[in-house]
Chains A and B, each alone.
Chain A
Amino acid sequence: MTTGTISVKNLKQAVQAIHIPPVYYFLVIITLVGVTLDQVFASGNILSNPTIMTNILVRSVALGIVAVGQSFVMIGAAIDLSVAFTISLTAVLTSQLMQGDPARVPMAILIVFGIGIVIGVTNGLIVTKLNVNPFIATLGTGLIIKGILNGTFANYKGSVPKSFQSFGYDSLGPIPISVLVLLVVVIIGWFILSRTKFGAHLYGVGGSREIGRLSGLRTARIVTGAFIISSITAVLSGLFIVSRLGSGAPWVGPDGVYDLESVAATVIGGTALAGGRGGVFGTLAGVLMFGMIDTVFNQLGVDTYLKTVLRGALIILAVASYSIRSGREAA
């Protein structure tokens, strides 16, 4: 045997060991197609202009952070549709509490994270103790937050201080702080899922709540934990959004469709809607795919509405490309 074949074999094994989610091939294909289209039909500066690449990343931060939380919930065989309104609530409350005063930043951040935890615990308890289907439970809590928010705040309220806006705008060297935060969130997510007991239990409970319960897992606590993580990431996304906007309004969450898009990104990333499978790196690729598509469309000057159409088609096709091979019937 020559060393060449061994190294090829080793490489193959190594690649298989890492287990790259299929979405990465998609991301590569879409990037290649996008860059080619950009070269042929537009200015061709996606590659040459680094700020565009940075923009793809920054644009992905808000969706990326909350999608990591959504991945946790979905691995646990649930879904969290309340995240969009948790994001809105965070954005509005943060600017309302800070009132442009740097001294009030820590207090405001503590309060919004506290509220996030309360929302997560509430979702978890409704799902696990009242036995309400997670779709309905989080749709319901989302509506409750939306109602309170729209009934109380009509428009942009308050503002965040300049110092807080550095979260959204400043860079550490060439890398924006927000992108670093996204990466840290993804890595923490990966660590919890693959290196902690909680992560292993979450996969177990997601695979089958009943088997998890029979093997002695505290399923209610585990699912509630996933909901808390999801709410916390939604709060973090909300903080990022308000730091970009400077002031929060009740519609920032639903306007970004963070609920359904985080679900879509997670599913495209290979996490099963039925639970028990998936991971945050796949989700990250799903989010980057969205960012890439947006950027290419912008470069090509595609009509905003047509963009929505293509986005819908791509979501379906991306999920179809691997669901079609599964033996299981979808519902």
Chain B
Amino acid sequence: MTTSAKKPLSMQLTNMLISVWNLIKRIPPVYPVFVVIMIAVGQLNPNFATTDGILLFLRRSSPLAILAMGQVFVLATGGFDLSQGSLVTLTIIGSSLIIYNNESAGYTAILIMLGIGIIVGLVNGFVVSFLKVPSLIATLGMLLLIKGGGLYWTGGAPKGYLTENWRYFGRSYIENIPVIGRFPLAVIILVIVGVIMSILFYKTNLGKQVLAIGDNARTSQLSGIRVKLVRMIAFLISAILAVVAGVLIGGYGGVSIVAGDGLEMQSVSAAVIGGALLLGGRGSLIGAVFGALTLEAIFSLLNLLGLPKPFRDAVQGLIIIGAVAYASITSRRRD
């Protein structure tokens, strides 16, 4: 305090500005971008800027946010999980087959699908870790397996429907809450998943190990990390979260054989917008969640601007290129 008081005021101010600027520079770009888009959406649609509007937005975004969290674990190790979207679809059409108009089978169906998800994750992890197949190919093969398997199981068209108790998680509300009124259950699930995943990613060795493996698998192995095991856990988490996301999407949107199409690319995009580095070594779980929210907010914005739906893809393409270009220009790390 006393030393700084001796300096001229102008210098103090400049120093302060510089340190503030340094702080701002360290904020990942996804947060300001998210805020700006949310404000724009709120301006265009006054209904959006209410508590209910924001909660509905969060409900719509929670499946993608959950998928993105799973994708971050895999991306951090330097891999990809392209089988997420097909697992979402399988969860929905598989459940409707298991339920087969039998209300009491609703929760059994979810448990069975979680079991299938665990198997899918373990197989992905096994193929990558032990058969040493690059994850791009391994999970692409898994995508074909799940897609073909699901369609074979249903005979190409969805059969049956999803019962109320199955759809409960995706579309119901907790009613009569003071001040805010109703609260979507899907958002609570997003928060629960978010907390568990944050603990895993930030507070346990697992989180540090996935990043270490992505940075340098050989060094990690030499320093005692069980690389194969950690990789398998990453794929396992991604697959389980894909089933959770599938339950939410099915609850919200009902049975469809294209429900999960392209979601794997969206979750990769969300994670990358949130600061994850492809080929591993860097990734942020919270960043990925905000990446997902940003993507959904952009989709809302395009919708409000009256752009036809296909142009969403074009804008998504521009944004992910821009986000990654920005990240690689600002960080000195080159690949």
Contact = CB atoms under 8 A, between A and B. Distances in A.
Most interface-central of A304, A313, A315 (chain B CB within 10 A) = A315
A331 B314 CA distance: 29
Interface string A219-263: 000000000000000000000000000000000000000001001
Given A139-B265, A264-B137, A311 B144 contact: yes
Contacts of B129: 330
B8 to A, nearest CB: 41
Contacts of B147: 308, 312
A184 interface: no
A136 B79 contact: no
A316 B269 CA distance: 25
Contact-size category for B: 35 or more
B328 A130 contact: yes
A307 interface: yes
Given A273-B137, A316-B127, A331 B317 contact: no
A319 B137 CA distance: 8
A323 B308 CA distance: 44
Nearest to B334: A131
Nearest to B86: A312
B27 interface: no
Overall SS of chain A's interface: helix
Given A143-B314, A151-B310, A131 B133 contact: no
Contacts of A315: 137, 140-141, 144
Contacts of B268: 136, 139
B313 A146 contact: yes
Interface string B90-131: 000000000000000000000000000000000000011111
Interface in B202-251: 214, 217-218, 221, 227
B169 to A, nearest CB: 28
A254 B194 CA distance: 34
A319 B134 contact: yes
Nearest to B272: A136
Contact of B152 (A141, A150, A303): A303
Contact of B324 (A79, A132, A308, A312): A132
B142 interface: yes
A146 B310 CA distance: 8
A326 interface: yes
A147 B302 CA distance: 13
B139 to A, nearest CB: 9
A252 to B, nearest CB: 16
Interface of A: 79, 126, 130-133, 135-137, 139-151, 260, 263-264, 267, 273, 303-313, 315-316, 319-320, 323-324, 326, 328-331
13 contacts: A132-B324, A132-B325, A139-B268, A140-B317, A143-B317, A144-B318, A147-B315, A264-B141, A305-B156, A312-B142, A316-B141, A316-B142, A329-B227
Given A143-B316, A147-B315, A331-B279, 18 more contacts: A126-B321, A126-B325, A131-B334, A132-B324, A133-B277, A133-B324, A135-B278, A136-B321, A137-B321, A144-B317, A147-B310, A148-B314, A151-B310, A264-B140, A309-B152, A326-B132, A329-B217, A329-B218
The 9 A-B residue pairs whose C-beta atoms are closest, nearest first, are: A147-B314, A308-B148, A312-B144, A143-B317, A150-B310, A331-B78, A147-B313, A309-B148, A305-B152
Interface of B: 77-80, 82, 127-138, 140-145, 147-149, 151-152, 156, 214, 217-218, 221, 227, 265, 268-269, 272, 277-280, 308, 310-318, 320-321, 324-325, 328-329, 334-335
